[in-house]
Amino acid sequence: MNQIPKHIEHVVYLDSGSAKARGVIGRYPERDTAYVFRCDSAAYRLIHMIGVSKPLTVQCYRENRLHKEVTLRPYVGLTVAK
């Protein structure tokens, strides 16, 4: 399991098909909340920002260590996080 930063008190795992499809659209977490998508492999991930009105920070962990962090802009269409 990936190590969640210490300031995060609430973790919401988006594991179901509908939760993954909705993603964070219309969700505005507090600073102590994280939404987590678990992945079985390190691969390119398509992340759409349509319907997301605030910047989204995406963190990718590999072997419990932060591998990459990217902040995506709202309403920019499609991007890829590796």
Cα of 17 vs its chain's centroid, Å: 15
Residue 21: alpha-carbon gap to chain centroid? 12
Q: How far apart are CA 70 and CA 68, in angstroms?
A: 7
For the chain of 82 residues, list the mean pLDDT of each consecutive stretch of 10. Answer: 71 84 78 79 73 79 78 70 70
Going by C-alpha positions, the residue among 38, 50, 47 that lies closest to residue 77 is 50
In the prediction, which pLDDT does 21 show? Answer: 79
For residue 1, the model assigns a pLDDT of 47
pTM over 0.85: no
Q: Taking the mean position of all CA atoms in its chain, how far away is CA 70?
A: 10
Alpha-carbon distances, residue 47 vs 11, 43, 55, 70 (angstroms): 20, 12, 13, 11
pLDDT at 3: 66
So what's the pLDDT on residue 78? 61
